[in-house]
Structure 1
Amino acid sequence: MLTVAILALPDVYPLDLSIPAHVLGTQSGYDVRVCAEDVSEVPNADIVVVPGYENPEIKPAGEYLDALREAAGRGARIAAICTGTFALAAADLLDGRDATTHWRYLEPLRALHPLVKVVENRLFVEDGNFLTSAGGGAGIDACLHLIRSDFGVAAAVEAGKEVVASPVRDGAQPQYVDVLSPVRADLSEVRSWAMEHLGEPITVDQLAERGNLGRRTFIRHFERETGYSPMRWVTMQRVLSARRLLETSDWPVDRIAAVAGFGTGSNFRAVFRREVGTTPTAYRKAHACEFTNSKR
């Protein structure tokens, strides 16, 4: 059981507070607690979430910042939603780190905290033990990312179903797009086809042909709709498919490599380590309970 302390600063945004309380509260492996005036539980939590709040240019009171620093010093993971990023920055926890916030507050964040490496137009950004996100729906994505990291893809899928949200939106996706795509650029059918053929060789030219677009036009529209290049998106889907199989089956790694579209086991291991930060075998061992429970 991992303890989660949601640090509700004064003038907290109700939506930003309710998102982690509900999304993380759906996961049985979390003990979720909301901390407001009494912050005594924050320093000892495994995960601390700071929802957005009004007037982020005003530095939070010392007891809040001290609680965040103490939690960070103990190695807790700390997540911020929307303007919650300002509290982490005010505690000097983001100096030299990548971080993001709601697009309306990017420039104020830069001005107030010049040592923070502000990343624009991303749903969420993870740097070490710190996870910062944009507002609203991106807070859901950040919470699902925490669940996926702690309990695996299958758990994130179930949590996503509970809150009727996609469990696979990566942090690198943009918060918004500046130009609306024309109707003919709707490439959802192309993505559906790719998902059904992950185990087969897939090329950009194949995808462009299925979308009835020229290669360059297809790439441009695909990136506009998803925030990723076509092959980067395919790789991400293959990794997610492999993670799910590692969690829910006892298939050999080489078989998973073939089914997920990585070809050889050695290529699969290299890509998996690069994307997930661990080996397929270690990942399976960490999430063995999912498969064990599924057989009962």
Structure 2
Amino acid sequence: MPVIAVLVLDGVPGHQLTAPGLAFGTAARHHPPVAYDVRICTAPGFEATGGLASFRVETPWGLDGLADLDDTDTVLLPGHERFRDPPPPDVVAALRAAAARGCRIGAVGTGTFTLAATGLLDGRRAATSRRNTAELARLHPRIDVDPEGSVVADGPFHSAAGVLGGIDLCLDLITLDHGMAVAIETERQLFLQLHDPTTPATTCAAYTPPGSSLAPTTTWMEANLRHPLTLDDIAAHAGLGARHLTRRFHAETGLTPLQYLLRARIQRAQWLLERTEDPVERIAALTGLGTPANLRRHFQRQTGTTPTTYRTAFRTFVTNLTPRE
């Protein structure tokens, strides 16, 4: 099971400390083949989180929690209050050793300053909190600093502004590990509070398990959602008879091919509603659902709400949950 080692220094923002467990745990909970071992590793001198509502953390791991990582594992560096100070030498050594073993290393917000101090980002692109981009560029002129603070990947090193405690960075890593469909559904489950009756329900993801023999076919389906696909079309692409294909789909996804296709279309509609200003008419065409009435009917049946209500609710939650930097 891949390990996500969250290396925390004193004064880490509480939401950045807890976000990785929330993101990777949600991905695993909603997609049973997905599994992560998230461990909190405290650096020397760690006492408590920063801010007004600080809290202490007890964990069995210190820097020794990084010692047994291998090339399938990841180290995450949240920000911390004294990020301008040089990190302790043993923290630098532990990070360099992890990088030498092939681990991915991610930095959130001002955690990028800590990673930069190791020299591992020299000659690479990186991001930090938007209000700190100029300072990072001044202190570390060999780093190409992204002024927008968006998620940046350069080789095994990943960095992000720190909005929602680095949720965007975690989702980026989940995408690399398990594909965009898993990351999109994970993001949706994170943002939508299903216990609130004013919040729209979500549909189950159209999801193909890792290593599935159906992956080439489901990838083709998802790339051609706007086209009218029949069971015979899907079977022809898979090189199987319709009955054989249906049995295999049911065994590997729990759905028939056409049920999978409908869920993929609704999932794409959700993505477009969340991230674009496209009108319902265009979304209906892009997803292969044809008409706005057809989109509304299937969307209501799958999610329990209308496309317009879904779009409004999603954006309201994102706005309310995004801390101002």
Q: Common fold, TM-score beyond 0.5?
A: yes
Partners in 2 of 1:95 and 1:245 — Cα distance? 38
Match of 1:41 in 2: 65
1:68-147 superposed matches below 5 A:
68-137=95-164, 139-147=166-174
After superposition, what is the alpha-carbon deviation per residue over 1:2-52, rounded to whole angstroms, capped at 9, x for unaligned?
Answer: 011000012111111111121123233100000004111114331000001
Partners in 2 of 1:14 and 1:40 — Cα distance? 22
Query: In structure 1, what residue type is equivalent to 2:68?
Result: N
Q: Specify whether residues 30 and 293 from structure 1 end up closer, same or farther in structure 2 by C-alpha distance, changes over 3 A only.
A: farther
| Paired residues of 1:124 and 1:134 also in contact (CA < 8 A) | yes
TM-score, scaled to structure 1: 0.58
Residue 31 (1) aligns with residue 37 (2): yes
Residue 62 (1) aligns with residue 86 (2): no
Q: CA deviation at 1:137?
A: 2.7
| Paired residues of 2:208 and 2:253 also in contact (CA < 8 A) | no
Partners in 1 of 2:207 and 2:97 — Cα distance? 35
Match of 2:302 in 1: none
SS class of match (1:115): coil
Q: CA deviation at 1:257?
A: 8.0
SS class of match (1:5): strand
After superposition, what is the alpha-carbon deviation per residue over 1:176-230, rounded to whole angstroms, capped at 9, x for unaligned?
Answer: xxxxxxxxxxxxxxxxxxxxxxxxxxxxxxxxxxxxxxxxxxxxxxxxxxxxxxx
Match of 1:186 in 2: none
Q: Specify whether residues 260 and 20 from structure 1 end up closer, same or farther in structure 2 by C-alpha distance, changes over 3 A only.
A: same
**Stretch of structure 1 that moved more, 18-27 or 78-87:** 18-27
Match of 1:20 in 2: 20
Query: In structure 2, what residue type is equivalent to 1:40?
Result: D
Match of 1:4 in 2: 4
Q: Specify whether residues 9 and 26 from structure 1 end up closer, same or farther in structure 2 by C-alpha distance, changes over 3 A only.
A: same
Identity of aligned residues (%): 36
Q: Specify whether residues 18 and 252 from structure 1 end up closer, same or farther in structure 2 by C-alpha distance, changes over 3 A only.
A: closer
Q: What RMSD in Å do the two structures reach over aligned CA positions?
A: 3.0
Match of 2:32 in 1: none
| Paired residues of 2:208 and 2:252 also in contact (CA < 8 A) | no
Q: CA deviation at 1:84?
A: 0.6
Q: CA deviation at 1:162?
A: 2.4
| Paired residues of 2:23 and 2:167 also in contact (CA < 8 A) | yes
| Paired residues of 1:124 and 1:138 also in contact (CA < 8 A) | no
Partners in 1 of 2:185 and 2:131 — Cα distance? 32
Equivalent of 1:156 in 163, 183, 191: 183
Q: Specify whether residues 143 and 84 from structure 1 end up closer, same or farther in structure 2 by C-alpha distance, changes over 3 A only.
A: same
Query: In structure 1, what residue type is equivalent to 2:66?
Result: V
SS class of match (1:41): helix
1:236-275 superposed matches below 5 A:
252=217, 256=221, 259-260=224-225
Partners in 2 of 1:254 and 1:43 — Cα distance? 38
Q: Which has the higher contact order (CA 8 A, sep 6+)?
A: 2
Q: Specify whether residues 250 and 19 from structure 1 end up closer, same or farther in structure 2 by C-alpha distance, changes over 3 A only.
A: closer
Q: Specify whether residues 254 and 48 from structure 1 end up closer, same or farther in structure 2 by C-alpha distance, changes over 3 A only.
A: closer
After superposition, what is the alpha-carbon deviation per residue over 1:234-270, rounded to whole angstroms, capped at 9, x for unaligned?
Answer: xxxxxxxxx97897856648954871569xxxxxxxx
| Paired residues of 2:209 and 2:252 also in contact (CA < 8 A) | no
- The structure whose Rg is larger is 2
Moved over 6 A (4+): 243-248
| Paired residues of 1:23 and 1:143 also in contact (CA < 8 A) | yes
> In the comparison of the two structures, how many residue pairs are matched?
193
Match of 2:258 in 1: none
Q: Specify whether residues 96 and 252 from structure 1 end up closer, same or farther in structure 2 by C-alpha distance, changes over 3 A only.
A: same
SS class of match (2:168): helix
| Paired residues of 2:160 and 2:166 also in contact (CA < 8 A) | yes
Q: Specify whether residues 77 and 259 from structure 1 end up closer, same or farther in structure 2 by C-alpha distance, changes over 3 A only.
A: same
Q: Specify whether residues 59 and 160 from structure 1 end up closer, same or farther in structure 2 by C-alpha distance, changes over 3 A only.
A: same
After superposition, what is the alpha-carbon deviation per residue over 1:99-136, rounded to whole angstroms, capped at 9, x for unaligned?
Answer: 01011111111111111111110421000000000022
Partners in 1 of 2:157 and 2:179 — Cα distance? 19
SS class of match (1:27): helix
Partners in 2 of 1:154 and 1:291 — Cα distance? 19
TM-score, scaled to structure 2: 0.53
Q: Specify whether residues 259 and 90 from structure 1 end up closer, same or farther in structure 2 by C-alpha distance, changes over 3 A only.
A: same
SS class of match (2:174): helix
Q: Specify whether residues 39 and 156 from structure 1 end up closer, same or farther in structure 2 by C-alpha distance, changes over 3 A only.
A: same
